[in-house]
Structure 1
Amino acid sequence: MISEPEMVGEFDASAEREVLDHAGPQAAGDRPPRATRPRARWWWALGGAVVASAVWGAVLFADGSRDGAPDMHGYRLGQDPCGAVALKSIGAAISPRAPGTRFEAGMLRHDALDQAQCYIPLRTESEQQRSDKGWYVSYTVTIKVALHKKTDPRVEFEAGRTATDLGVDPETEVEVVPGLGDKAYLLSLEGGEQELRVLDGGAVLSLGITSSLNWEDDGRAPDDAVKLPDLAPHKAAMISDMRDLMTDLKS
């Protein structure tokens, strides 16, 4: 059955021609000319598709993802990517970095991926500042940089936001940090550790702080252990030093 709305609309010129042909005998010269179906709409649709394809191609070319390669936003790894990290904010909030001391896990350079990782110990407390019980706290800053030059890392970045070097901990607290790269998360892990992760185009950067307790008191056995300090107050310092790191890797 043809419903009423389907009968409302543009009248078909071919249908009109059939009605005129069967209205009665007419001379061949008296017949109206054969009507032609309008085709302007199809040309308009084809033109719109071409324009849309051109615009989409321009967008792909502009963001560097035509071949799947992400935009690197100017990031690059120099000869010593960790040596120039001043850690000004963390140094002011906790302790300056120990002069001339760092441990590097080596640097990878490849057409698809450049990667660097280093561990920077902060200057420990002096003997006068240590607890009477012989305990003192030491801090280490871990920096990781991965520049993905062939494939976009955003899917893996999002999927692994609760994964750590020790595995996946469902108890890890994940906090979104707005205004830092394309995406940024601050992870609070059990055991006195925090990690700030940033995705910015093809670059994935991480800055983490780990605290640990150390015993030192003339060979005596340690007594009651003290608690690790809360690292939550140092979130702003981590974000500030991450911004400096991102700027340094673009210079």
Structure 2
Amino acid sequence: MISEPEMAGEFGEASTEHAVLLHSGPQAEGDRPPQATRYGAKWTWALGGAVVASAVWGAVLFADGSRDGAPDLRGYRLSQDPCGAVRLKSIGTAISPREPGTRFEAGMLRHDALDQAQCYIPLRAESEQQRSAKGWYVEYTVTIKVALHKKTDPRVEFEAGRTATDLGVDPETEVEEVPGLGDKAYLLSSEGGEQELRVLDGGAVLSLGLTSSVNWEDEGQAPDDAVELPDLAAHKAAMISDMRDLMTGLKT
């Protein structure tokens, strides 16, 4: 499509040419000025092109579901507990499996504008061989959050809240972009040893968090020399793998 500056320049050249032709000889009575006809043809073509372009753009907006502001949910559904849709195969291999026989139902919200769920998955406590001789042991929890926005696009809020956690806004939170996961994905790492993987995919916002805590299990008062919290950054690849599994599970 010809841009406006090109149309303006071409239009001026054409009018000069026709002005010369007009004054080079006598006009027949009743004849219309030729430049009026040419001007009309050019503007008709330009307006016609604009109408076609607007129609095509409108069709594209309608096709991807964003004409009325409603985002594309990409096939995600919250018909069941999202904790049941993720096996945590990678995290279970890297750290420890899910606590056997434990079932935690998700807190569910269903609304015309938003479907939302959140649940917690405890991992099985470490074995006796893995525990400290002093009675300290490390416990892990995986948090799953899913929000399906059906009326408004969550992209702006997703970007704005990159450093916001459940404990508030922490400027010290490290944010790392994760490529190849949904439309946009970030891995948040806090000083407290928490990791959270957030994904934006159309109208869906998904989160997989991993936390750890040190616990004392022995007789008597716990000593002051508690073991250090593990470095959860080592489990980044496992979190990404299990997030992919969650995303697939919510589409089936």
TM-score, normalization by structure 2: 0.88
Partner residue in 2 for 1:45: 46
Q: Is the 8 Å Cα contact of residues 143 and 206 (structure 1) preserved in structure 2?
A: yes
Pair 1:86–1:34, CA change in 2 (3 A): closer
Partner residue in 2 for 1:169: 170
Pair 1:162–1:32, CA change in 2 (3 A): same
> Quick one: which amino acid aligns to residue 213 of structure 1?
V
SS at match of 1:129: coil
Aligned runs of 1:1-251 on 2, under 5 Å?
A: 9-10=13-14, 11=16, 13=18, 17=22, 33-37=31-35, 38=38, 39-104=40-105, 106-251=107-252
> Quick one: which amino acid aligns to residue 129 of structure 1?
Q
> Quick one: which amino acid aligns to residue 9 of structure 1?
E
Listed one character per residue, the Cα deviations across residues 209-245 of structure 1 (whole Å, up to 9, x for unaligned) are 0000101111233231111000111000000000000
Listed one character per residue, the Cα deviations across residues 7-47 of structure 1 (whole Å, up to 9, x for unaligned) are x83316457646867xxxxxxx9769442321221111011
Pair 1:236–1:18, CA change in 2 (3 A): same
SS at match of 1:127: coil
SS at match of 1:76: coil
> Quick one: which amino acid aligns to residue 79 of structure 2?
G
Alpha-carbon distance in 2 for matches of 1:172, 1:92: 27
Alpha-carbon distance in 2 for matches of 1:32, 1:79: 79
Q: Is the 8 Å Cα contact of residues 112 and 148 (structure 1) preserved in structure 2?
A: yes
Q: Which moved more, 1:83-92 or 1:98-107?
A: 98-107
TM-score, normalization by structure 1: 0.88
Listed one character per residue, the Cα deviations across residues 139-182 of structure 1 (whole Å, up to 9, x for unaligned) are 00000000001110000000001100111111111111000000
Q: Is the 8 Å Cα contact of residues 82 and 106 (structure 2) preserved in structure 1?
A: no
Q: Which moved more, 1:34-43 or 1:110-119?
A: 34-43
Alpha-carbon distance in 2 for matches of 1:58, 1:30: 48
SS at match of 2:13: coil
Alpha-carbon distance in 2 for matches of 1:82, 1:32: 83
Alpha-carbon distance in 1 for matches of 2:78, 2:98: 21
Aligned residues: 239
Alpha-carbon distance in 1 for matches of 2:28, 2:106: 94
Pair 1:167–1:102, CA change in 2 (3 A): farther
Alpha-carbon distance in 1 for matches of 2:248, 2:168: 30
Alpha-carbon distance in 2 for matches of 1:17, 1:129: 98
* Stretches of structure 1 lacking an aligned partner (at least 5 in a row): 22-28
CA RMSD of aligned residues (A): 2.3
- Over alpha carbons, which structure has the higher Rg? 1
Identical amino acids, percent of aligned pairs: 81
Q: Is the 8 Å Cα contact of residues 83 and 106 (structure 2) preserved in structure 1?
A: no
Q: Is the 8 Å Cα contact of residues 102 and 119 (structure 1) preserved in structure 2?
A: no
Q: Is the 8 Å Cα contact of residues 81 and 106 (structure 2) preserved in structure 1?
A: no
Q: Is the 8 Å Cα contact of residues 17 and 34 (structure 1) preserved in structure 2?
A: no
Q: Is the 8 Å Cα contact of residues 137 and 213 (structure 1) preserved in structure 2?
A: yes
Alpha-carbon distance in 2 for matches of 1:136, 1:94: 13
SS at match of 1:186: strand
SS at match of 1:195: strand
Alpha-carbon distance in 1 for matches of 2:25, 2:30: 8
